[in-house]
Amino acid sequence: MPRLPFSLAALTLITLGLSACTSNAATPEAPYGGTRIHDIQGATPAGDVASPKVGEKVEIEAVVVGVFPGLSGYAVQEADSMADQNPNTSEGLFVYCGSVTTCGAVKVGDRVKVSGTIKEFSKGTQLDTVTAETVVASGLTLPKAVTVTLPQDGNWEKYEGMRLNFPQTLTVTDNYSYGRYGQLGLSAGGRLFNPTNGNDTSTQAANDARKIVIDDGVSAQNPASLPYLSAQQTRRTGDTVAGVSGVWVQNAGGYMLEPVATPVFTAANPRPNAPQAVGGTLRVAGANVLNYFNDLNPDYSSTGPRGANSAGEFERQQAKIVAALKGLNADILTLMEVENNGDTALQALVDALNKEMGAGTYAAVKTGTVGSDAIKVAIIYKPASVTPQGAAQIDTDAVYSRPPVAQTFKDKQGGVLTVVANHLKSKGSCDNTDPDLGQGCWNLLRVQQAGALLKFVTQLKTQSGDPDVLLMGDFNAYGDEDPIKAITAAGFESLNKRIPAAERYSYQFSGQFGYLDHALASSSLGAQVTGITEWHINSDEPTVADYNYEYKNVPGCVVNTPKGNTCTGQDLFGPGPFRASDHDPVLVGLNLTK
């Protein structure tokens, strides 16, 4: 070796040293110093427990496995050589940088020494108040990810902060919080059905074990740019995602995966532009119009009119509803959640529909105000297809929350049919007289309302002189619940059950699907039914796609009206039928023979 200047010799040694290191990857790394993460997390075989070292100042030395500027921090995990052999201790920890500007200059694969204080935040253990952060080495192979196959036993705490890998293809089953938090619920084995819907034999516990949540790596609410959007500018439930992997974190929303690689979604459940064919010569539909109020509520008062808060919102709401009703193209339409202000709102909707479909296409069955609730059910029809026989009938039994409205029609073939629009008591707001015993609040009341409805039906058959009765509407009861059983036990056929189980739903709640929206046919009518479908324009869509301005970056949104409104979120509104309501409409085809 020729004599070299000192500095160059030193450089050569450094180069040799580096290449020796790189070519001997199997050589054990120098031991990692500091406090071990599994000792910080503690052993937690089952439920959530706080770190035994809360409040202690510690130094850790571990490998960066995820960097999340949107969460103001990063995740580290023990090198495999430093992990204990206890499956009940987590080897991962979140480093929360917050406003500490000397924290967070790290990359995935860095070996870091970090000093700070152990803290619990929303039940997640984190290294907080960081006082020192040193990158010791870079480009390391990451600690192994734990592979989790669903269903899982619910003991997620032992993975808190760690890399997890879910190899299964999962289905989007929950997009309720998508617009607000950038989160999606995913399930193994297809979407989840409410256990009382009758689609399968699942239990609540079995459903829970099949579900995880993925986040977008952003804790701020109403993000300006939503993750995971489809080409149709939505992300529908029923879409699928190939194996997801990332860091398992715990926050106010529970345990969730923060992906470190962009998940690959498939639009397995694209928007259906038209309802499936139902055949027949007469179409009857039921549609919820999401509080269609032509009285506005500009000050967002809780006791004021429901529905749109401004003329701009109303225009968007009406455009969606008209698109949905036009798409149904029913001869008879039963409507739920129309403002109960005489026939004013109902006529406004008919006028809007006729403006789109042609003058005189639809006419309202005028009932005036029905009962005392803020909303009512209503019926509209195509005069060119059917002729009302006699006056509309309203059942005045005091048991109803919203009285049912009935109308008998004769069609062009001379067939006679009585249609009843229904909206039974909702499942929310329990009191202890009729609590939630597995079928929602007010189940006993709904059973009583179903009983009254059966008496009303007897009366209607006598008046019309025809046994054909079709009960439509929102019964606020899933397919296998008591109010529906009471009606089918009296001889009605649940037409919804003709729909294949995988497609039999109209409503999403807590990431589970079911049908609250029914079509129940009297025994004489069943043989005259040619088909039924639930048009999945609403329940599969994220709420953020609806007409509302709140929280969206859209002209017309007013910051802090209502209180806390940010007007930052992405607006997914389009004038088409999608997310016209929270319930899917139901469409029945008939060929009346008498």
Q: Which residues bind Ca ion (CB under 5 A)?
A: 48, 123, 160, 181-182, 215-216, 218, 250, 309, 548
Indicate the residue among 53 and 123 with the shorter CB distance to Ca ion. Answer: 123
Q: Which is nearer to Ca ion, 116 or 182 (CB)?
A: 182
- Backbone phi and psi for residue 552, each to the nearest 5 degrees, phi listed first: -105, 145
CA distance 441 to 452: 19
**Cα-Cα-Cα-Cα dihedral sign, residues 196, 197, 203, 206:** negative
For the bound state, the minimum distance from the C-beta of residue 317 to Ca ion, rounded and expressed in Å, comes to 9
DSSP string, 309-332: SSHHHHHHHHHHHHHHHHHH--SE
For Ca ion, the closer CB: 101 or 262 = 262
Q: Is 493 left (phi over 0), alpha (psi -120 to 50) or beta?
A: beta
DSSP three-state, residue 42: coil
Number of other residues whose CB lies within 10 A of the CB of residue 76: 28
Give 215 or 239: the residue with its C-beta nearer to Ca ion: 215
Helices 482-489 and 443-464: crossing angle, nearest 10°? 30
On the 0-12 / 13-18 / 19+ scale of CB atoms within 10 A, 160 is buried
Strand ranges, E, within 383-438: 386-394, 405-411, 416-423
Nearer to Ca ion, 237 or 250 (CB): 250
CB of 155 to Ca ion, least distance (A): 12
CB of 106 to Ca ion, least distance (A): 21
3-state helix, strand, coil in the chain (%, to 5): 20, 30, 50
Shortest Cβ 105–Ca ion spacing (Å): 23
Give the shortest CB-531-to-Ca ion separation in angstroms: 36
Q: CA-to-CA distance for 236 and 552, rounded, in angstroms?
A: 19
Residue 310 Cβ vs Ca ion, minimum distance, rounded to whole Å: 7
Shortest Cβ 157–Ca ion spacing (Å): 5
Q: How far is the CB of 471 from Ca ion (least distance, A)?
A: 32
To Ca ion, the closest distance from the beta carbon of 156 in angstroms equals: 9
C-alpha 275/C-alpha 341 separation (Å) is 31
Pick the closer one to Ca ion by CB: 112 or 249: 249
Quote the DSSP letter at residue 569: B
Q: Which is nearer to Ca ion, 196 or 297 (CB)?
A: 297
CB-wise, 214 or 419, nearer to Ca ion?
A: 214
Q: Which is nearer to Ca ion, 331 or 550 (CB)?
A: 550
Of 218 and 379, nearer to Ca ion (C-beta) is 218
CB of 465: closest distance to Ca ion in angstroms? Answer: 46
Are 473 and 377 in contact by the 8 Å Cβ rule? The answer is yes
| Sign for the pseudo-dihedral over CA of 225, 230, 232, 234 | negative
Three-state DSSP at 384 gives coil
| Minimum distance from residue 575 beta carbon to Ca ion (Å) | 17
Which amino acid, one-letter code, is at 299? D
Nearer CB in complex with Ca ion: 148/452: 148
Q: How many CA atoms lie within 13 A of 522 on its CB side?
A: 19
Burial of 135 (0-12, 13-18, 19+ CB in 10 A): middle
Query: Cβ closer to Ca ion: 86 or 134?
Result: 86
Closer to Ca ion at the Cβ: 286 or 542?
542
Query: What is the nearest approach in angstroms of Ca ion to the Cβ of residue 256?
Result: 9
Cα distances (angstroms) measured from residue 178 to each of 98, 191, 357, 491: 24, 16, 34, 42
Task: Label each residue of 199-243 as H, E or C.
Answer: CCCCCHHHHHHCEEEECCCCCCCCCCCCCCCCCCCCCCCCCEECC
Which tokens is 11 given? Answer: 């450089």
Structure tokens at 402: 């919203």
Q: How far is the CB of 180 from Ca ion (least distance, A)?
A: 8
